[in-house]
Amino acid sequence: MEKTVVKIENLVKRYKELIALDHFNLDIKEGEIFGLLGPNGSGKTTAINCILSLLTFDKGSIEIFGKKMTPTSYDIKREIGIIMQNVAVFDELTVYENIDYFCGLYIKDKATRKQYVQEAIEFVELEHFVRFYPKKLSGGLLRRLNIACGISHKPKLIILDEPTVAVDPQSRNKILEGIQELNKNGATVIYTSHYMEEVEQICTRIAIIDKGKNIAIGTKDELKKMIRNTETITIEIRDIKDSVVNEMIPLPHVYESTYADGILTIKCNGGKHNLIRVLAVLEKNNVSFGRVYSKQPTLNDVFLEITGKALRDEEV
């Protein structure tokens, strides 16, 4: 039987007139990489801060490892690693000294701490930068240092809040690979982001959050089955009659056919061989066409249909 690592029931958090979390529920099992997906201002970070007892809340309950979480639950907090969106390291300490300091908050035995610090350095591949001060590191290396500080004590639960903001693609891939490796080594991971592709790449289950509510939850495949669109076909066509565009609608599983700016777009809700049937209509009507694409729905399509808006990067 799977153990529940984090259990949140009916969590409500208000900031005066603003309801940041509105009867929010969550159940995270041991061994998951659980994604919290939502735009800035959706309630992701507020939920994380409540889980960590950094914020008080108005209603609801939070249990971690089967125990009630409170501000003084130090036995629970020792088993948690936190990597927040804003890098939190000491500028006056070197890379090694930073990791050693944060590890020392949890690990008192000097020999064990030394081993853990070295393993954390190797894990994020900062061996050549141990004597550098944070100001001398690039944005990507600084993020890796931040992760090393958060995971050096080998926590059972690791929370990463937007860890790849403003890093280069190479560092981003390194961070994502590292998260998956931590998970393989036994850690349960909570990963918040507003980058769809990252969540889709690494998360075993995903919750879509908007306006403080958990509006959909499941694996990426389960989420994609919640929406009408299962396939979008786009075809480059220089000119096509409206009658031919409309002829697509009666085809099995086609629910929308539009033509604009030289692109015929067909949306389908299930079925196989949709593309073959569409191309057969074009051939029958002697319509010449260019490039053809068939695209399965993404998490962005899911978010758009469920919330009525695209996942946005701007602050709200």
Query: Does 260 lie in the same domain as 132?
Result: no
C-alpha distances out from residue 235 to 169, 192, 290, Å: 30, 35, 7
Angle in degrees, CA 24, 29, 35, rounded to 5: 60
Query: Does 194 lie in the same domain as 47?
Result: yes
**Would you say residue 193 lies in a domain?**
yes
**Would you say residue 307 lies in a domain?**
no
Q: What are the two backbone dihedrals, phi and then psi, of residue 91, each rounded to the nearest 5 degrees? A: -65, -30
State which of 224, 253, 273 marks the end of a domain.
224
**Would you say residue 275 lies in a domain?**
yes
**Would you say residue 101 lies in a domain?**
yes
**Would you say residue 84 lies in a domain?**
yes
pLDDT of residue 194: 78
Q: What is the spatial distance between Cα 44 and Cα 110, in angstroms, rounded to a whole number? A: 36
pLDDT of residue 314: 38
- We report the CATH number of the domain holding residue 278 as 3.30.70.100
**Would you say residue 146 lies in a domain?**
yes
pLDDT of residue 315: 36
Query: Does 240 lie in the same domain as 213?
Result: no
State which of 166, 194, 224 marks the end of a domain.
224
Q: What is the pLDDT along the chain (316 residues), one digit of tens a residue?
A: 789 999 999 999 999 889 999 999 999 999 999 999 887 788 988 999 999 999 999 999 999 999 999 999 999 999 999 998 888 899 999 999 999 999 999 999 999 999 999 999 999 999 999 999 999 999 889 999 999 999 999 999 999 998 888 788 888 888 899 999 999 999 999 999 878 888 989 999 999 998 899 999 999 999 988 888 989 999 999 999 999 999 999 999 999 999 999 999 999 998 889 999 999 999 999 999 999 999 989 888 888 888 776 655 433 3
Query: Does 257 lie in the same domain as 135?
Result: no
Q: What is the spatial distance between Cα 188 and Cα 31, in angstroms, rounded to a whole number? A: 5
C-alpha distances out from residue 123 to 120, 149, 206, 251, 293, Å: 5, 11, 26, 53, 40
Paired tokens of 171: 């560092």
Query: Does 24 lie in the same domain as 86?
Result: yes
Query: Does 131 lie in the same domain as 74?
Result: yes
- We report the CATH number of the domain holding residue 127 as 3.40.50.300
E-state strands within the chain: 4-15, 18-29, 33-37, 59-64, 67-68, 80-83, 157-161, 188-193, 205-210, 213-218, 231-236, 254-260, 263-268, 292-295
3-state secondary structure 134-196: HHHCCHHHHHHHHHHHHHCCCCCEEEEECCCCCCCHHHHHHHHHHHHHHHHCCCEEEEEECCH
**Would you say residue 288 lies in a domain?**
yes
Query: Does 149 lie in the same domain as 276?
Result: no
Query: Does 257 lie in the same domain as 213?
Result: no
Query: Does 96 lie in the same domain as 71?
Result: yes
Report the number of distinct structural domains present in the chain: 2
Q: Which long-range contacts (CB under 8 A, 24 or more apart) does 251-254 make?
A: 251/277, 251/278, 251/281, 252/277, 254/278
Query: Does 265 lie in the same domain as 161?
Result: no
Which class for 186: exposed (0-12), middle (13-18), buried (19 or more C-beta within 10 A)? Answer: exposed
Q: In this structure, which amino acid lies at residue 234?
A: T
Tell how far CA 152 is from the center of its chain: 22
**Would you say residue 313 lies in a domain?**
no
Q: What is the spatial distance between Cα 273 and Cα 277, in angstroms, rounded to a whole number? A: 7
282, 244 contact by CB (below 8 A): yes
pTM, to two decimals: 0.84
Query: Does 67 lie in the same domain as 43?
Result: yes
Residues spanned by the domain of 96: 4-224
Query: Does 88 lie in the same domain as 72?
Result: yes
State which of 224, 254, 280 marks the end of a domain.
224
